[in-house]
Chains A and B, each alone.
Chain A
Amino acid sequence: MNMIEASHLSRTYQRGDGTPVTALRDVSFVIAAGEFVVIRGASGSGKSSLLNILGCLDTPGSGSYRLAGEDVSALPDDARSHVRSKHVGFVFQSFNLLPRATAVENVELPALYTGASPDRARAQELLERVGLGARADHFATELSGGEQQRVAIARALMNDPPLLLADEPTGNLDSAAGESVMQLLTSLHEGGRTIVLVTHDEHVASFADREIVIRDGVIASDTVRRERRQA
């Protein structure tokens, strides 16, 4: 099954002064379920713009986008919220934990918006899985960067989404912390999750099966880095 089917995606922003900026131009590719794909490109090449569309935060100006078999390119705002809640886990460069909530409350957050009953036990279990079971009641501000990013990954897993999107997840971490985050993502990939990761870092890119390079909003190359590992 294809997790992502992007065909002819374009995205144009309006600058403050009204001039248009085209961030993505006729981008097409398919990502199968279970792939680990890295997106690379120079600053301003359109990587984040693409990731936002893939994560249903943004809609393409033209083209179509199917996520897990469903065409989501023209869904209204509410419906896209529900798609994110169900299918997508986000990991950000700057972690984006809620500073006034504890680690376990942060992990639990996505479950607030599913209508299901609260599941503190699952949140705790996920924290243990990222090696932070003992830090459950610490506030986000009391954790190191690497720890915060691992909490953020646990949060991304809370609703058990099939797709993880990470925009420079190691960008703010030292190499040891970055390494442990990459190890975590690799193990999640091995567990069957589809991962799309944006990075500048060659070492980080080496964890992926496939590399898409973007230049000025178009796909410059799309290469297999290594044969897919069978889960």
Chain B
Amino acid sequence: MNATRVIGSAWRSLARSKLRSFFMMLGVIVGVAALTALASVGEATRQETMRQFKRMLGTFDTLTVRPGAGSTRGMPSLGSVEPSLKFPDGPAIAAGVPGVKRVALVQQAFDLDVSYRDATTVPLVLGVSPNWADIRGEVVASGAHLSEEDDGSLARVTVIGADVARDLFHGENPLGKVIRIADVPFQVKGVMASRGAGPGGASLDNMLVIPVSTAAKRLFNRDYLTTLVVQLVDANASDRVAEDVRALLRERHRIIPPAQDDFTVGSPRATLAQITRVGSTLSKVVTGVAVIATLIGGAVIMSLMLIGVSERRREIGVRRAVGATRADVMQQFLVEAILISAFGGAVGILIGAGGATVGALLQKLPPAYMWSMIGGAVALSVAVGVIFGLYPAWKAANVDPIEALRS
């Protein structure tokens, strides 16, 4: 029998008992729809996490150096970090490690009161070198970025984030106004364009920047840094550059292994990869549940097919009497099972993708579809048809035609 006839006759046979066919499909529809929807919602969420990190970091093509051994949890603040990372370490890395484009210096604190007249807020306060804004691709909504002159002259100027502008100025134009950071007066030189939400949906605009030299000498009175942002020439070389940075800093800090490093070099890209891997652990659980649902669908197909085989014994007998071999009968039932589950899979994908789209739009995310998962769902539904169709088909093939035809 040729393929189109086999499929055509299986299709007719299914079409003539629609209700039964529908019930056979139901489990696979539910399983595959869940698989598709969950995977796609997961993918939309993962992509959103990526975007949030990208907004927070500005760029992935950097390494970060922080004081202290081991990865620092949470945000480092000047008051709490080890004083091991010094200002000259920055230029030394920029000059001494090939593949490094620029290095930005950062001192940060997030426990300082910032006020203007009666209004007070506690934003993240960053002392940054003049190249910081450019490395991160920051944009000012009004005014100007911090300049080399500001840093050289220890100018008390600041560029404030959109939230700070809103909280302190309530619509008033902040440019030229003087605000107090821990009671030290700073003139507002610029307002940054809003960066939106970072990881976890927190605002990235509740911050302000001042020249790092000013910060060190006129605000914090500290000569060490909380972060060095090392911009790479080639993002793919980040492992090698990180190794070279470590070697250089060990030399500068006179650390001889096995003594522990007093700094940590991190790669935002690696961190992100780890975070999305954690995400995928969750999606594995979800996938497992949907796979189980699909397998239950397969078991339903099997039991209904077994009933079908016993109800259709006479049909099988007739087919055998007019010349069908065991293989022909086996093939017929197997094709029916595969058609059922593949069709159920197709319906499931449509429902799942539709659900994922609605879900993403409700979360105000651009919908994303995890095509690998959808491909997997298709393969799974066909496999379910084969696996769960095999036994009923084998049963059908072994129906004794003489027995089946006896009236």
Stretch at the interface among A2-10, A94-102, A176-184: A94-102
Is B401's beta carbon under 8 Å from chain A? Answer: yes
B-facing residues in A9-58 (Cβ within 8 Å): 48, 52, 55, 57-58
Nearest-neighbour CB distance to chain B for A182, whole angstroms, equals: 19
Number of residues of chain A lying within 8 A (CB) of chain B: 31
A115 adjacent to B322 (CB under 8 Å)? no
**Which chain B residues lie closer than 8 Å to A97 at the CB level?**
318
292-334 of chain B: CB within 8 A of chain A:
314-315, 317-328
Contacts of A85 in B (CB 8 A): 322-323
- B1-37 residues with Cβ-Cβ distance < 8 A to A are 1, 5, 9, 12-13, 16-17
Flag whether B405 is at the interface (Cβ < 8 A): yes
Cβ contacts under 8 Å, B327 to chain A: 78
Between A and B, 17 residue pairs with Cβ closer than 8 Å are: A78-B325, A78-B327, A81-B324, A81-B326, A82-B325, A84-B323, A92-B407, A96-B314, A96-B405, A98-B315, A100-B16, A109-B319, A109-B322, A112-B1, A112-B9, A114-B323, A115-B1
Give the residue of B12, B323, B406 whose beta carbon is less than 8 angstroms from that of A113: B323
Q: Enumerate chain A residues within 8 angstroms of B319, measured Cβ to Cβ.
A: 109, 113
Having A78-B325, A85-B322, one finds 17 other A-B pairs with CB under 8 Å, namely A82-B325, A86-B323, A90-B321, A92-B407, A94-B407, A96-B314, A96-B321, A101-B12, A109-B319, A110-B322, A112-B1, A112-B328, A113-B323, A115-B1, A118-B5, A155-B322, A159-B323
Contact yes or no, A113 B326, CB < 8 A? no
Specify which chain B residues have a CB less than 8 angstroms from the CB of A82 in the assembled complex.
Answer: 323, 325
Q: How far is the CB of B87 from the nearest CB of chain A, in Å?
A: 86
Is A77 in the interface zone, CB < 8 Å from B? yes
- In the complex, are the beta carbons of A77 and B326 less than 8 A apart? yes
Residues of chain B with a CB closer than 8 A to A58's CB: 402
Number of B positions contacting A (CB below 8 A): 26
Question: With an 8 A cutoff between CB atoms, is A93 at the interface?
Answer: yes
Residue among B315, B317, B323, B401 with max Cβ neighbours from chain A (10 Å): B323
Within 8 Å CB of B406, what residues of A? 48
**CB-based contact A113/B314 at 8 Å:** no
Nearest 6 pairs between A and B by C-beta?
A85-B323, A113-B323, A110-B322, A94-B407, A81-B325, A100-B16
Tell whether A100 pairs with B13 under 8 Å between CB atoms, given A112-B1, A115-B1: yes
A100 to B11, CA, bound (A): 12
Whether A113 touches B325, Cβ cut-off 8 Å, given contacts A100-B17, A118-B5, is yes
Query: Closest residue to B317 on the A side, CB-wise?
Result: A96
Residues from chain B with a CB closer than 8 A to the CB of A94 are: 407
The interface residues of chain B lying within 8 Å CB-to-CB of A155 are 322
By a CB distance below 8 angstroms, the chain A residues around B318 are 96-98, 109
Q: Which chain B residue shows the least CB distance to A89?
A: B322
In the complex, are the beta carbons of A84 and B326 less than 8 A apart? no
Task: Give chain A nearest CB distance to B335 CB in angstroms.
Answer: 13
Q: In whole angstroms, what is the CA distance A2 to B319 when docked?
A: 27
Interface bits B209-232 vs A (CB < 8 Å: 1, else 0): 000000000000000000000000
Whether B402 lies near A113 (C-beta < 8 A) is: no
Which residues of A in the span 112-126 have a Cβ within 8 Å of any Cβ on B?
112-115, 118
A interface residues (Cβ-Cβ under 8 A, vs B): 48, 52, 55, 57-58, 77-78, 81-82, 84-86, 90, 92-94, 96-98, 100-101, 109-110, 112-115, 118, 155, 158-159
Q: Is the interface of B mostly helix, strand, loop or mixed?
A: helix
- CB within 8 Å for A57 and B315 given contacts A52-B402, A112-B1, A113-B328: no
Closest chain-A Cβ to B320's Cβ sits at a distance in Å of 7
How near does chain B come to A176, taking the closest CB pair, in angstroms? 21
| Complex interface: chain B residues within 8 A of A113 (CB) | 1, 319, 322-325, 328
Q: Which of B17, B315, B323 contacts A81 (CB 8 A)?
A: B323
Of chain B, the residue at the smallest CB distance from A96 is B318
How far is B16's CA from A43's CA once the two chains are assembled, in angstroms?
Answer: 38
In the assembled complex, how far is the CB of residue A224 from the closest CB belonging to chain B, in whole angstroms?
Answer: 30
Query: Which residue of chain B lies nearest to A168 when distances are taken between CB atoms in the complex?
Result: B407
From A84, A86, A92, B405 is in contact (CB under 8 Å) with A92
> Which residues on the B side are within 8 Å of A48 (C-beta)?
406
How far apart sit A48 and B16, CA to CA, in the bound complex (Å)?
A: 33
CA distance A18 to B194 in the complex (A): 88
Residue of chain A at shortest CB distance from B6: A112
Residue contact A84 to B17, C-beta cutoff 8 Å: no
What's the nearest-Cβ distance from chain B to residue A217, in Å?
Answer: 17
The listed residue with most A CB atoms (<10 A of its CB), out of B9, B17, B321, B402, is B321
Give Cα A128 to B16, complex, Å: 26
Chain B residues contacting A110 (CB-CB under 8 Å) are 322-323
A218 to B86, CA, bound (A): 112
Q: Which residues of A contact B320 (CB under 8 A)?
A: 57, 81
Contact of A84 among B13, B315, B321 (CB under 8 A): B321
Please give me the residue from chain A that is nearest to B8 by CB atom: A118
Q: How far is the CA of A90 from the CA of B404 in the complex (A)?
A: 14
Complex CA–CA separation, A58 to B401 (angstroms): 9
How far does the Cβ of B7 sit from chain A's closest Cβ, in whole Å? 13
B322-A84 in contact (CB<8A): yes
A115 neighbours in B (Cβ, 8 Å): 1
Q: Does B326 lie within 8 Å of A57, measured CB to CB?
A: no
Please report the C-alpha to C-alpha distance between residue A101 and residue B1 in the assembled complex, in whole angstroms. 18
A29 to chain B, nearest CB (A): 21
With both chains docked as a complex, state the minimum distance between the C-beta of B402 and any C-beta of chain A, in angstroms.
5
- In Å, the complex CA distance between A78 and B322 comes to 13
Bound Cα distance A42, B108 (Å): 107
| Cβ of A202 to closest chain B Cβ, rounded Å | 21
Cα(A77)–Cα(B325), bound, Å: 7
Bound CA span A109–B317, Å? 13
Minimum distance in angstroms from B311 CB to a CB of chain A: 11
